[in-house]
Amino acid sequence: MRVLVTGGAGYIGSVVAAQLLEAGHEVSVLDDLSTGHREAVPENCRFVEGGIRERASEVLADHRIEAVLHFAARSVVPESVSHPERYWDGNVGCTLALLDAMRVHGVGRIVFSSTAAVYGEPESSPIPEDAAVRPGNPYGATKAAIDTALTEFARLHGIGAVSLRYFNVAGAYEGLGERHAPETHLIPIVLQVALGLRESVSVYGEDYPTADGTCVRDYIHVADLAEAHLLALASCRSGEHRVFNLGNGTGFTVRQVIDVCREVTGHPIPAVAADRRPGDPAVLVASSRSAQRDLGWTPRRPELRRIVADAWDFHTRTRAAETAAG
Ligand SMILES: NC(=O)c1ccc[n+]([C@@H]2O[C@H](COP(=O)([O-])OP(=O)(O)OC[C@H]3O[C@@H](n4cnc5c(N)ncnc54)[C@H](O)[C@@H]3O)[C@@H](O)[C@H]2O)c1
Ligand SMILES: O=c1ccn([C@@H]2O[C@H](COP(=O)(O)OP(=O)(O)O[C@H]3O[C@H](CO)[C@H](O)[C@H](O)[C@H]3O)[C@@H](O)[C@H]2O)c(=O)[nH]1
């Protein structure tokens, strides 16, 4: 298929673009490089630098796109609290513009990056897709709004849509890894300590109702997550919008993650207790049974040690290349 990957210069979009190429698809990437990196776009993609609102319509037409994988978004939760307008505009506004361009150019499939943040503080664990949608911050609220818009667009315009609700994505694939600046995610931050780029990691809250008092999250390897996108793309059904959680179904505390990072890196990684981070749910663990049943998806790299080891390999190589380049 001829596919457009929005946000294909970012962490997850670049890995999915690489896997789409490997599977024989023709891949176009549209990215404004606001948080992405030009060199992360796999070589055989057609790259267009620009914003969705400004350039999506033209790319859909010129590249005769048949399906869209939509990653481009703003995704820093604290920023969404201080500047919600950037999220309503950058996430909801841009996605509505993209959907309208798809309608105009007759593009019939979309796979969308949704998030566990739509569930807020869940009532039970693991979380199935029919759990209440009650986002606890504007980032999650914008993703939930897009999920709703997709349901309506699919019904009204016959588009086949899939929302994939990611839990905590980590790890690296074929030289493509996580490089956000500033970084807010736990595993890359902990690895920055091991690389000597930070003195310590702050542990946000040690009084949660969990085994060791720190928050529990479900970490999913970016390559496994990417594979689900290819399955979702193939399974889009005209007029239907389906929603799937993507996680491993196993939770790890912040302290457990830091311990695994110590094992993998051989570094002592000092950890300092800090206040809770506002809006953090105590436990977020996915039930991905629907994705396994309906998409035929099986995560092939579920071990946290493997996820951290792949991220560590990426970070050490990137650091070495940066040091060599001066
Ligand atoms: N990383 C996670 O753990 C996680 C978890 C849940 C959901 N998600 C979602 O997955 C998607 C990808 O996340 P990521 O971690 O790869 O983020 P990222 O910041 O690395 O990638 C996003 C990319 O989109 C581009 N972009 C942003 N706005 C744009 C616009 N208007 N037009 C064109 N390009 C634009 C950025 O330059 C960047 O390359 C996002 O939608 C995010 O909300 C991520
Ligand atoms: O320096 C840090 C960074 C994080 N944490 C803790 O580590 C856990 C994981 O935090 P991340 O920031 O890595 O990930 P989140 O669980 O906050 O966020 C992820 O899940 C969210 C859904 O809740 C969104 O989808 C978001 O995009 C995605 O990155 C949290 O308990 C957080 O408090 C620390 O203790 N110290």
Q: Exactly one of 11, 119, 139, 219 is catalytic; which is it?
A: 139
84-137 residue pLDDT tens: 999 999 999 999 999 999 999 999 999 999 999 999 999 999 999 999 999 999
Interface predicted TM-score (ipTM) over 0.90: yes
Looking at the chain, which runs of residues are DSSP E strands? 2-6, 26-31, 46-49, 67-70, 109-115, 160-166, 168-170, 201-204, 216-217, 219-221, 241-246, 252-253, 271-274, 283-284
The whole-number pLDDT of residue 307 equals 98
Q: Best substitution site from 16, 28, 29, 31 to test ligand 1's pocket, by max atoms within 8 Å of Cβ?
A: 31
pLDDT at 31 over 90: yes
H helix count then E strand count, the chain: 11, 14
Let me know: does 201 contact 272? Beta carbons within 8 Å.
yes
Report pTM. Answer: 0.98
pLDDT at 279 over 90: no
Per-position b or e across 175-209, b if 16+ CB within 10 A of its CB: ebbbbeeeeeebbbbbbbbbeeebeebebbbbebe
Count the Cβ atoms, other than its own, within 10 Å of residue 326. 4
pLDDT at 326 over 90: no
Active site annotation includes 139: yes
123-155 residue pLDDT tens: 999 999 999 999 999 999 999 999 999 999 999
Give 209 Cα–ligand 1 centroid separation in angstroms. Answer: 31
- Point out the ligand 1 atom lying closest to the alpha carbon of residue 40: 39
Pocket of ligand 1 contains residue 32 by CB under 6 Å: yes
